[in-house]
């Protein structure tokens, strides 16, 4: 067995995590900043932010904007959605669960008169016991809020279990909805620990036309290999680039989310210059993968849309971009929980879903989105409360990236407990 894919022992995990952490911290952001970058090496600023790249979404044949609008974080108002359309964005991603349905409502309000010029995706989290009728009711609720007779793509949302993909009820529901003209294509979204397993199953069994998956420079081993070649660590997400390539080869459209590796945008502001900014560097990294049709970004404001659109149509990762991305990793690698990594699964005897807990921490601490964090935390079957009184955490060596799991889960539990008190007060 290759040593890079061999499951590490706890001691090996600790050494690998600490070695990487030490390397990143010693490297430091300052040493990886963009100070002294030759201005001539930077791409020119577009005169006006606008979509400049469109790609075909697999076998659907739909042409979609490479920078697309997600709605998990909500919007300041419906005018933000309209601004995205006027800037050339043609792909809009939403779900019935986003902001209690209000994200769908704003998209419907802003775009009802241009519906035939857009691609709209919505999603639903189904449960094991759901029947076709309940799924159809959820779809029809989305259609009402979106003010449309159909969605182009309807996805099974946040899939983290192959059993959900095996549901006869889902297949029969989507077949009926297609016959009735309520959906055109089907898909799945996911960002949990079993993501690669679920993607492989869905693609191999021809269950989806489109996938939405977490993907960023921090989840691609090729990124780390460029500057950590001398370190012995496990690249346990090497399956993600592989499965995206397989999806593309089989005609499955690939859209991606979580593209900013936690989105701590202010961390790199002192080291940005001209067109060399962290968000644009991250986007150029994602779009350099030609298997990706669109990056789906939650953008609450017109200003954020304009900033991200400056990377549209540009898939060349430049030296200045690479330095910013490395600097970001130096600052955040030991607190960022990698999507699609399942190494910590089962390490808590009390059943705390560590990766799910840390995702809600990301929403709260990194995104600054308390509402999304609270709703995600409340939806967990088991939350992080047991971590507050755990005297002998067995999860301490469970992360190959060196995350101090007990510290981070306790912090999450404390944040959510405080938020609960504030709401009651």
pLDDT tens-digit map of 238-252? 678 899 999 999 999
Any idea what the CATH number is for the domain that residue 136 is in? 3.20.20.100
Are 349 and 250 in a shared domain?
no
The answer as to whether 122 is a domain residue is: yes
Are 146 and 240 in a shared domain?
yes
> For the chain, how many structural domains are there in total?
2
| Average pLDDT estimate for 156-180 | 93
pLDDT at residue 6, rounded to an integer: 35
Q: Which residues of 61-99 are buried (b: 16+ CB within 10 A; e: fewer)?
A: ebebbbbbbbbbbbbeeeebbbbbbebbbbbbbbbbbbb
The answer as to whether 220 is a domain residue is: yes
Query: 141 pLDDT exceeds 90?
Result: yes
0.95 exceeded by pTM: no
Parent domain of 402 = 343-424
Are 261 and 381 in a shared domain?
no
pLDDT at residue 29, rounded to an integer: 47
Half-sphere exposure of 170 (CA within 13 A, CB side): 24
pLDDT at residue 272, rounded to an integer: 67
Tens of pLDDT, residue by residue over 355-391, are 888 888 888 887 777 877 888 888 888 898 999 989 8
Least confident of 85-89, 361-365, 421-425: 421-425
Q: How far apart are the first and last CA of the chain?
A: 57
pLDDT at residue 252, rounded to an integer: 98
If DSSP codes are grouped into helix, strand and coil, which group holds residue 341?
Answer: coil
Tens of pLDDT, residue by residue over 90-109, are 999 999 988 889 999 999 99
Query: 148 pLDDT exceeds 50?
Result: yes
Query: 424 pLDDT exceeds 60?
Result: no
Query: 35 pLDDT exceeds 70?
Result: no
Bridge-partner residues for 55, per DSSP? Answer: 64
């Amino acid at each position: 067995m290759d040593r890079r894919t061999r499951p590490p022992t706890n001691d090996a995990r600790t050494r690998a995590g600490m070695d990487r952490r030490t390397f990143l911290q010693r490297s430091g952001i300052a040493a990886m900043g963009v100070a002294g970058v030759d201005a001539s090496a930077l791409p020119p600023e577009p005169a006006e932010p606008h979509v400049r790249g469109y790609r075909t979404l697999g076998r659907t044949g739909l042409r979609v904007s490479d920078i697309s609008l997600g709605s998990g974080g909500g919007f300041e108002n419906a005018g933000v959605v309209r601004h995205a359309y006027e800037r050339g964005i043609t792909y809009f991603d939403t779900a019935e669960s986003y902001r209690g349905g209000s994200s769908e409502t704003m998209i419907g309000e802003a775009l009802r008169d241009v519906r035939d010029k857009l691609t709209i995706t919505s999603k639903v989290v189904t449960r094991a016991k759901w029947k076709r009728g309940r799924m159809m009711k959820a779809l029809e609720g989305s259609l009402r809020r979106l003010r449309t007779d159909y969605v182009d793509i309807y996805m099974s949302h946040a899939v983290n279990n192959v059993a959900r993909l095996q549901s006869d009820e889902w297949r029969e529901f989507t077949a009926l909805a297609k016959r009735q003209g309520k959906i055109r294509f089907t898909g799945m979204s996911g960002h949990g620990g079993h993501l690669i397993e679920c993607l492989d199953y869905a693609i191999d069994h021809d269950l989806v036309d489109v996938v939405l998956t977490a993907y960023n420079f921090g989840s691609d081993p090729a990124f780390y290999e460029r500057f950590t070649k001398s370190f012995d660590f496990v690249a346990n997400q090497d399956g993600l680039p592989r499965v995206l390539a397989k999806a593309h080869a089989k005609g499955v459209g690939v859209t991606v989310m979580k593209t900013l590796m936690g989105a701590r945008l202010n961390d790199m502001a002192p080291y940005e210059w001209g067109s060399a900014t962290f968000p644009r560097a991250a986007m150029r990294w994602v779009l350099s993968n030609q298997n990706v049709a669109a990056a789906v970004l939650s953008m609450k404001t017109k200003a954020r849309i304009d900033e991200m659109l400056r990377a549209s149509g540009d898939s060349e990762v430049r030296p200045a971009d690479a330095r910013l991305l490395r600097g970001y990793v130096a600052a955040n690698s030991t607190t960022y929980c990698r999507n699609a990594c399942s190494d910590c699964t089962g390490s808590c005897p009390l059943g705390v879903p560590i990766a799910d807990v840390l995702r809600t921490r990301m929403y709260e601490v990194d995104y600054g989105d308390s509402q999304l964090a609270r709703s995600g935390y409340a939806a967990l079957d088991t939350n992080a409360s047991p971590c507050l009184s755990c005297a002998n955490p067995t999860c301490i060596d469970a992360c190959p990236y060196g995350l101090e799991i007990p510290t981070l889960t306790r912090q999450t539990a404390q944040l959510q407990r405080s938020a609960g008190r504030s709401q009651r007060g």
